Structure 1
């Protein structure tokens, strides 16, 4: 079933919005006479439900452990009769991509209208659009309130804001994207429900994208091909930049139908290698068909450089 990602700055009101959505979905399900909808449940996963403390975000090691706990909990919750609301910072786009892959890999019946299914609008993301200064004020108040879960220490708060990678509705894993302004009393309930379930409660099997299905490693040379093809793409970019100094912002054709629009300033080798390592890490287990490796990597490059 659908995965709904909640994303936003620290102390932006994510849990408040997630709770509103959970209450709305639960009421919608309970009042439905459709047997397919009435059997659904809603799972709300956040730091509080996983007993993750705010101070884990101070150190890279504990933060990584917290993300792994979140990832495992969401993966376990995904299933045929569950709507999962992943309420958290979700500030790293690579992490959001991983969750998108997990949701796509779950072969479950869904109730999407034909239009929604063809558009692939299955996993809504809700971006909490609270201004940074408002978040800072709320966080300061939470720090001094013993009755609340507490805020983030100021240096941790500033660091999380600095590292936040805002969702982009043009990427597959950040769409459909719903931004909820701070001044809005409620999220757009119906629009999110429509994107998630569709207007017709008609059961049909969602066919996972071949690029996101977890497959057994039947080809021994898969990792070799993954490494080789991604390195070839990087080499093409580096050679082009060397041969065209001062010509940033141009479109480089990797192969027919695969174009990369390069930034105005040259992309450094360390930056390209970092993107490549992230892509390989994300697809080491989510095995791509060989013909899809180059195309998927180019798409990932475009999103990362954009």
Structure 2
């Protein structure tokens, strides 16, 4: 069942909102079970809340890159372990890196379950005031060290509802008493309890390759696209980012801020070929699927 990603500035009230959602979901499931028209699918749902407290992670992990990366990997593993069609997983954390949100979005798609992002829209200045009070209260371990707090604010990548991994996006303002719980339930479970249909990514669907010359086209098309990227980067030396347009493709390639080296591009290409050697989307779709795969990999750079 669904994955709910909570995202927001440090000390913005993410855990408060996550607990409100958890209570609402559990109440909704209980009422469905008690009703005469109980939905068997909904009645099997369980709600899980994952956050630093449940994982035993201290907020001091945000002081070093390695400790933060390890903590993020622990959150990722916990979410992946619990995701299923009979579980609602609420991931309560900063989730401030768009590449990390994309990874969790892919995990949800892999098990064909819906997901959404709940953005806690408390202004940075209000978060700063709250964090200062939490740090001053020695009986509570709820504040971030000032340096870590400012670093997280600076690095925060706000969710964008126009991107598929941040959609549907629900924003909860500081003055809102509760999140839009009914709308979130509707988006993820449906008012009638019918499961939302989620299709896995084309690049991860296993199908037998039946078209003639499929492997040849797979190798040639991906090689040509890598050549276009390297040519673009040579024509724009020292520049990061940019859009590479591929002929007969509806989607362009969005390059990362840091220029990609040829070995990096070839490694991504080999990964894609390995994933899709035994797959069968038509040869005419290779360009589109490879471009989509490149964009997803570049987001993580």
The verdict on a shared fold, with TM-score over 0.5 as the criterion, is yes
* Local SS of the residue matching 1:201: coil
- C-alpha distance after superposition, 1:182-209 (max 9, x if no partner): 1111101111111111122235764322
The residue number in structure 2 matching 1:143 is 135
Q: What is the rounded CA distance, in whole Å, between the counterparts of 1:45 and 1:6 in structure 2?
A: 10
**Does 2:290 align with 1:294?**
yes
Rg larger for: 2
Mapping for residues 207-218 of structure 1, pairs under 5 Å:
207-212=199-204
Q: What is the rounded CA distance, in whole Å, between the counterparts of 2:12 and 2:258 in structure 1?
A: 30
Mapping for residues 143-292 of structure 1, pairs under 5 Å:
143-203=135-195, 206-212=198-204, 228=223, 231-238=226-233, 241=236, 253-260=245-252, 271-273=258-260, 284=271, 287=275, 291=286, 292=288
> Deviation at 1:50?
0.2
- C-alpha distance after superposition, 1:75-113 (max 9, x if no partner): 0010121000010000111111111111110146xxxxx
- C-alpha distance after superposition, 1:38-79 (max 9, x if no partner): 110000000110010011111111111101100100000101
Mapping for residues 44-83 of structure 1, pairs under 5 Å:
44-83=49-88
Relative to structure 2, which stretch is displaced further, 144-153 or 80-89?
144-153
Q: From the superposition, tell whether residues 165 and 295 of structure 1 become closer, same or farther in structure 2 (CA, over 3 Å).
A: same
The residue number in structure 2 matching 1:133 is 125
> Deviation at 1:239?
5.3
Q: What is the rounded CA distance, in whole Å, between the counterparts of 2:227 and 2:4 in structure 1?
A: 35
Equivalent pairs, count: 275
> Deviation at 1:232?
2.9
Q: From the superposition, tell whether residues 184 and 64 of structure 1 become closer, same or farther in structure 2 (CA, over 3 Å).
A: same
Q: From the superposition, tell whether residues 250 and 84 of structure 1 become closer, same or farther in structure 2 (CA, over 3 Å).
A: closer
Query: What is the TM-score of this pair, normalised by structure 2?
Result: 0.78
RMSD, aligned α-carbons: 3.8
Where does the alignment leave 5 or more consecutive residues of structure 1 unmatched?
A: 109-121, 243-248
Q: From the superposition, tell whether residues 49 and 304 of structure 1 become closer, same or farther in structure 2 (CA, over 3 Å).
A: closer
Contact 1:4–1:124 (8 Å) recurs in 2 = yes
Q: What is the rounded CA distance, in whole Å, between the counterparts of 1:99 and 1:86 in structure 2?
A: 10
Q: What is the rounded CA distance, in whole Å, between the counterparts of 1:98 and 1:175 in structure 2?
A: 14
* Local SS of the residue matching 2:246: strand
Query: What is the TM-score of this pair, normalised by structure 1?
Result: 0.77
Q: From the superposition, tell whether residues 257 and 302 of structure 1 become closer, same or farther in structure 2 (CA, over 3 Å).
A: farther
Relative to structure 2, which stretch is displaced further, 145-154 or 192-201?
145-154
Q: From the superposition, tell whether residues 272 and 102 of structure 1 become closer, same or farther in structure 2 (CA, over 3 Å).
A: same
- C-alpha distance after superposition, 1:207-261 (max 9, x if no partner): 322235599xxxx99xx8898566334224335658xxxxxx9975312233549
Where does the alignment leave 5 or more consecutive residues of structure 2 unmatched?
A: 33-37, 208-214
